[in-house]
Structures are given as structure tokens and as C-alpha cells.
Structure 1
């Protein structure tokens, strides 16, 4: 019997090799054999029958058959067929776990991709949602003179800041301003393609004021709910924008000051002369000691309608009144190296040379009104002259301005009230820009 059991165990091990329950099977079988043996001994003890008699009643064959039936029952439970049926279940569980793991991994990866996609979309969306204020000055409509344009540019820049828009400068009349001035601390140039396909509206114009109330009292973006606002403006909106309660906390430090200082700060953030203009300026000021007070004396004489500007506005000053200006300047010019006159009249230039001789600094540039005569063949030269002459005014130790934005903006950029005067109606009086 022992050999049979061992033989059965060997078969069990070979049959169920690799099955985790083989130890349990052996223990169960051994327990069954021992139980049978105990039964035989018990019966023998109770009946007082000899082992042979007991074996007759419970023969080894029957015991073997009983054990065999138990074995078969266990084998049926752990038979290859059952194992083949149970293994798929185990495999399925493993597969399910692996599939679940893979699914979670894919889901996580998908979420990562989705989040990454959202980030990219968000960036692109932000880029696509960028809105713009374009200060527009082209040949299709009037833009006004240089000083008027300057105040409109700085105002548009501030408006772009408080409305969270990108500021763009598009000034191509009478030729691109980029020929003479380039971006300084703020890059105001973008490719045309960036604005393509966006909703747009054109607002304002020379002397137009319909948008002033919006800038002062309302939400500019709400009223002009467009991607691109083309702003044609020569208005000084600085104080208007600063008075709007919606924008008070958005006013940058550079603008949160007096009007003339805010203009200077804003302009210098936007503009600096090109290399070409810097060379021209340095050539004209050669020999002038800019660190020596009084070495450069300047005046702007705005006449208005004259032989050079036949379609200009009515006179600001008369030719006859210029003598009073020469008399005023003479004491300053006496101690200066050079004297410069910016003017819209060739006659005034000639009178200055006649009065002050070799000390007279003459740009020699073309005199035009850059807006009223923008279609003339020399319009671009005249534009360059206007910018160059204003640059000189910003360097002067003594400066007399006319009632003109051209020289008043030059005084703002000069940045001081020291030896600053106004020439009007044949009189010269101190001019104060503000504290």
C-alpha cells in the first residue's frame, strides 16, 4: 500500500507538476490513508476481530477503491480539463489586470497628451486671442503734422496698455517712419500676416473726438469689441485715459506723472533714431559742446501759410515779427558756439543766416508740411527734415518754441523748463510745461 501511495504521489507530482496545491493534495491523501488505517484498527479493537477478518469485511480492494474514488474526485477537480478551464480564468484575470493596467497607462498617457494639447491650444488660443491697437497713418486719409502725430502715437500706446492690447505703429505717410526712427524698448512692428483674418474696426481721424468719451468713461474693449482697432488719432488722450476709473490701476508708472513727462517717457520707450539719423545729427552738431550750458541756442519759427507751404493753415507768426525774436536771441547767441533755427519758411532761414552769420546751423533740408504736401516728390525728404530738426531742438540749451506741437513736443523731449520760451505775436515769454 505504501508503495502504491508513493507511486500515486509520484503520478500526482508528474500530473500536477507546477500546480500550487500539490502539497495539500499529498497531505489530504495521507490523512485519508491514516484515517482508513485508524478505522481498521478501531474496528479490530471494537469487534475483537483479527486483521484478516477485518480485511474480509473492509477489504483492501474496497479501501483502495474508496481512496481511489476520492483521488478521482480530486483529480476531476484538478484535472487537466478543469485546469485548462481554470487557467484561462486565471489568465483572464491576469489579462484583465494587464489590460486594466495598460488601460490606465493609456488613459494617463491620454490625459497627459490631452493636458499637453490643452496647453498648446491655450498658448495658441492666447496667441489667436491677442488683440491689437494699431496707430494708423497711411496715404488714404489725413494724419496731421509731426507733433500731432507724436501725441497720438503715445496716447495709442497707453490705450493699448490699459486695454490689454498689443500696440502696433503703422505710419507710412509720406514714407515709412521706420526709415528714420526705430523701435527702442518696445517692439511696435509686426508682420501683416499676424492681423490677417481678424475682426477689425477703424476709429477716429484728424480732429475726430467721438472715441474720447469712450476712453474717458467706458470700457473701450466693450464698445469696440474687435480683434484689431485701427486708431487714426492725433489727440492727446493721456489725461483722458488716466481719468477713467476702469483704468486707474492699469496706468504704468511712466504715464503716472505730468503730461509732458508722460509723453517723454512713452515716446522714449517707443522710439530711437536710426543709425542714419544719428549720423546726420552728430554731423550737424559737430563742434557743439552739449555739456556746456548755453553752447547751443535754438528757436522754432512757425509761420504757416507761405511760399513753401501754400496750402498750410493761416499764419502763426508774421515774417515782420521775426526781428523781435532775433533781438531776444542775440545775447544768448553771443556766448554760444552755434545757433539753430527750425522753420517752415526758407525766408526765415535766410534772415537767420543774415543776422547771425557763421554761427547759424542750417540743416539744409527740404521744407514741406508732411501731411498737406505728402504727395509731392520731395515729401520723404521733408519728413526726414522734420524729424531731424526736432531732434536738434531736444539738445538745445536755450529754446524758443512757437505755438506749434512740433516744437512743444520737442520741448517735452528736451525735458526741462530751464531757458524755455514761447514766441508768439512778436513777443517772447517764459514757457512752463508744468512742474
Structure 2
């Protein structure tokens, strides 16, 4: 009897131990499943966060807005000139850099025309199209700083302490030169500008441009259409030979301040285009009758694009290149001079799309123009880059030396 009780007791203990063991295993398994589920959820959230459209965009408007400071590139058409669009773009870019150096929120206000910048170039990593709420703005100190054509400011960016120069909460800022070279010299911001040290000028401009902008859907449709007409996917070994021919004051834009190119300069530019079409074609086992004519047997391999501020030049290009020429149609306007033009926004659309096409050219001929230089910077590098110099003809040029070559500050 005592033996039987002992056996029953041992069996009971064994059953309890088995139950405890199963509970432990189940608990561990559940814990592992929960951990795996949690890890998967974190990965999923991280993935969703990365791909959320605005997740990487710096708005600068979080938190207490009354304690934030702002630098606003402003072109309102009321307080003096801003320059052409690419003068304005240079002002935007240096304004953005100064906002970073001074820990300010950067915004853009271009209201001199009814054309909304974000319709052509949308915000990318910086939400520059936000506005300061009126109830917040009313409590902040403001200042307007117009440095258009200011040589003093152009030189001063090499030494300025911008915190002392700009003391108010909101700085409405305007400028129009190329300040990059001088800004790189500023020892007050050596640490914050360290990213510029080993970058070329075109590399710096590319970074700023892509921080601020991405191509809008409207402009992308224009570029896609141009791409299909100029360099269709089915065509191999294709090249795009381009020129920007800026005339300055001419019948199309009679209000422009200066004559930039002469008739002889235009002839030099067209001759250059002909020569390059022939040269590229010969390299692809075709022949060219001479260096000043082209034939339809080349048009599948070489296309010509010309951006210009003159309808007369445009018509000449149409006649001379015929099958080789691919046109980006639209209205020609000067953004500063043509504010009241009934088709100003159509002109703005053509201007921006022309510029972006120029950044993709295999061979690019420049004029003395902010559009030309900015296109070459965003295009990057000096390979296939040429400059048409007034009364001196066409010469090979380097992207780092364009300012000195054209004797400009912008």
C-alpha cells in the first residue's frame, strides 16, 4: 500500500513537471513569434516612412513658429527688378545657402508674374513653397535686403558674419550674381561649408538644385515628348547637339538691355552645329557633303536643338537643319521684361523646359547668358562644352572658367 502511494506521488510530480515544461516552451515560442512580428512591423513602418512622398522633405515649420527665423527669396515685381529667371535662380540658390548657414527656414516667393514656380519646378527636399501664417508674421521683425547688382555684397560674402548682417526674424532677400566662389572662402562658416571643399562648381550647383527642385509633372510631359522625337528608344548611338543662342535686344524682345550676339556670332554658332552634325555622322560610317550642309540620312543618329530668344534665329535654324532639328515649341518671352505678356506663363514653361533639355546635350554651345551657364553647371563637366564669344568665334571651354571667360559676376 505504501509503495502504491509512493508511485502515485511520483507520477503526480512527473505530470506537474511535464506541464511546467510545456508552458515554458509555449511561452518562449509565443515570445519569439511576437518578437518576429514586431520586427516585421518595424521594417514595414520604416519602408513606408522612406516611401512616403513628403517624409524626407524639410519643411522647417514644425514646432513653435513664433520662435523660428526665416529667409525668404522674394521677387514681387514691386520693389525693384529681380533680373531674368536665371538671375533669380542664382539669388534663390545663395539665399538657400545663407539660410542653412544661419539656421533659418528657407522659402521662395515669386509673385512678379501669375506663373507659379512650383508648376514648373516643384519642391524636392525643401518645402520652400510654404508661407508664414499671418498671425505668426505679425509678431516677427522683418527686413528687406535687395542685393541685385551689388558688387559690395558680391565681395562681402567671402567675409560676412550673416548672423550679424541679418538680425531680424524674417529676411526678404534678393540677389542675382554667382556667389559660390566667394562664399567658399568664408572662414566664419568653414565647418558648415566643408561639403563644398572637394566639389567643383558644377557639383555644388547640382547639389543645391536637386535639394530644392524636382521636375513638375507638367514639364516632365514636355521632356518625355521631346525625348521621343529627338532620341527615340529604338535608335542606337544617338547624339543631341545643342546651342543656346541669346541675341539680347532684338525684335522678339525689344526691351532687353543689351545686344548680346551679332549676326556674325549667329553664323559662327550655326556653322559649329553643322560641323558637329557632320563629324558625328562621319564617325558612324556616314558621309557628309561638306561642313556646312546636312542630309536626311543623318537624322536618325544626330539631332539638333537650339534654344534662343529670337524668332528670327529660330526660323533660320528650321530652314538650315530641317530633318535634324527638333523644336521645343512655345512662346519666347523674357520673364523680367515680359511680365505683362498675355502668354507669360506659356513662355515660362518653354524657358524652363528649354533649360532642362540643354542639361542633357552631348554637345553644348553656350552664349553669354545666365541660362547658358546654369545649364552647363547642372549638365556637369566640360566634355562637349563650347563657348560662342562675341566677335571671337567658338572655342572649347571649361565649366569652372565660364565667369572669367565671359567677364561676368553672374
2: distance between equivalents of 1:293 and 1:220?
A: 50
Q: Distance in 2 between matches of 1:290 and 1:259?
A: 32
List alignment gaps of at least 5 residues for structure 1.
1-122
Select which of 295, 315, 323 maps to 2:267: 323
**Which residue of 2 is the match for residue 185 of structure 1?**
125
Aligned equivalent of 1:56: none
- Following superposition, the deviation at residue 263 of structure 1 comes to 1.2
Residue 254 of structure 1 deviates from its aligned partner by 5.4
SS of the equivalent of 2:335 reads coil
Q: Name the structure where helix makes up a greater proportion of residues.
A: 1
Whether 1:274 aligns to 2:240 is no
**1:214 Cα shift?**
5.1
2:245 to 301, 307, 310: 301
Do the aligned residues in 1 keep the contact of 2:107 with 2:130 (CA within 8 Å)?
yes
**Is the contact made by 1:160 and 1:167 (CA closer than 8 Å) also made in structure 2?**
yes
Instruction: Map Cα deviations across residues 173-212 of structure 1 (whole Å, 9 max, x no partner).
Output: 3222111110112221212316522111010242134444
Q: Secondary structure at 1:249's aligned position in 2?
A: coil
2:227 to 242, 264, 285: 285
Q: How far does the alpha carbon of each residue in 1:309-334 deviate from its partner, in whole angstroms, 9 at most, with x for none? A: 11102211113432222222113224
In the alignment, the residues of structure 2 paired with residue 253 and residue 231 of structure 1 have an alpha-carbon distance, to the nearest angstrom, of 24
Provide the TM-score with structure 2 as the length reference.
0.71
**For residues 255-305 of structure 1, what are the alpha-carbon distances to aligned partners after superposition, in whole Å with 9 as ceiling and x for unaligned?**
762222211210111111100100011101214448966611100001111
Determine whether 1:364 maps to 2:329. Answer: yes
Indicate whether 1:411 and 2:376 are aligned. yes
Q: State whether residues 147 and 405 of structure 1, in contact with CA within 8 Å, keep that contact through their aligned partners in structure 2.
A: yes
Superposed displacement of residue 360, structure 1: 0.9
Query: Does residue 1:235 correspond to 2:173, yes or no?
Result: no
CA distance in 1, matches of 2:359, 2:71: 28
Q: CA RMSD in A?
A: 2.2
2:312 to 342, 347, 363: 347
CA contact (8 A) 1:255 1:263 kept: no
Match of 2:362 in 1: 397
Q: Quick one: distance in 1 between partners of 2:174 and 2:400?
A: 28
1:290–1:147: structure 2 CA closer, same or farther, 3 Å change rule?
Answer: farther
Give the aligned partner of residue 433 of structure 1.
Answer: 399
Distance in structure 2 (CA, Å) of the matches to 1:234 and 1:304: 18
The answer on whether the counterparts of 2:355 and 2:375 sit within 8 Å (CA) in structure 1 is yes
Query: Residue 74 of structure 1 aligns with which residue?
Result: none
Q: Secondary structure at the match of 2:191?
A: helix
1:424 and 1:236 mapped to 2: Cα distance?
20
Instruction: Provide the rounded CA distance (Å) in 2 between the counterparts of 1:143 and 1:358.
Output: 39
- Three-state SS of the structure 1 residue aligned to 2:263 is coil
* 8 Å CA contact 1:200, 1:230 repeated in 2: yes
Q: Residue 256 of structure 2: SS of its match in structure 1?
A: coil
Aligned pairs for 1:77-88 (under 5 A) are: none
Q: 1:384 to 1:173 in 2, by over 3 A?
A: farther
290 and 205 in structure 1: CA distance in 2 versus 1, 3 angstrom threshold: farther
| Higher alpha-carbon Rg | 1
Is the 1:300–1:407 contact (alpha carbons within 8 Å) kept by the matching residues of 2?
yes
Map 1:202-213 onto structure 2 (within 5 A): 202-212=144-154
Distance 2:223 2:374 in 1: 18
Q: Structure 1 residue aligned with 2:69, among 92, 108, 131?
A: 131
Aligned-pair CA distance for 1:154: 1.1
Q: Distance in 2 between matches of 1:309 and 1:200?
A: 36
Please list the CA deviations of residues 47-81 of structure 1 after superposition, one character each: whole Å capped at 9, or x if unmatched.
xxxxxxxxxxxxxxxxxxxxxxxxxxxxxxxxxxx
Kept in 2, the 8 Å contact 1:255–1:262? The answer is no
Rounded to whole Å, the distance in 1 between the matches of 2:247 and 2:95 is 29
